[in-house]
Amino acid sequence: MDSMTAIAVASIVTAGLTTGLGVVGPALGEGRSVATALTSLAQQPDASSTITRTLFVGLAMIESTAIYCFVISMILIFANPFWNHVIALTTGK
Nearer to another protein, 6 or 21 (CB): 21
Distance of closest approach, residue 32 Cβ to another protein, in angstroms? 19
Give 74 or 88: the residue with its C-beta nearer to another protein: 74
Which residues form the interface with another protein (CB under 8 A)?
49-50, 53, 56-57, 60-61, 63-64, 67-68, 70-71, 74-75, 78-79
Q: Residue 67, Cβ neighbours under 10 Å: how many?
A: 13
Measured between its terminal Cα atoms, the distance across the chain in Å is 20
Amino acid code (one letter) for 64: S
Closest residue by Cα to residue 22 from 85, 74, 80, 79: 74
DSSP state of 30: H
Q: For residues 86 and 92, what is the distance between their CA atoms, to the nearest angstrom?
A: 10
CB of 60 to another protein, least distance (A): 4
Looking at the Cβ atoms of 53 and 85, the one nearer to another protein is 53
State in angstroms the smallest separation of the CB of 30 from another protein.
13
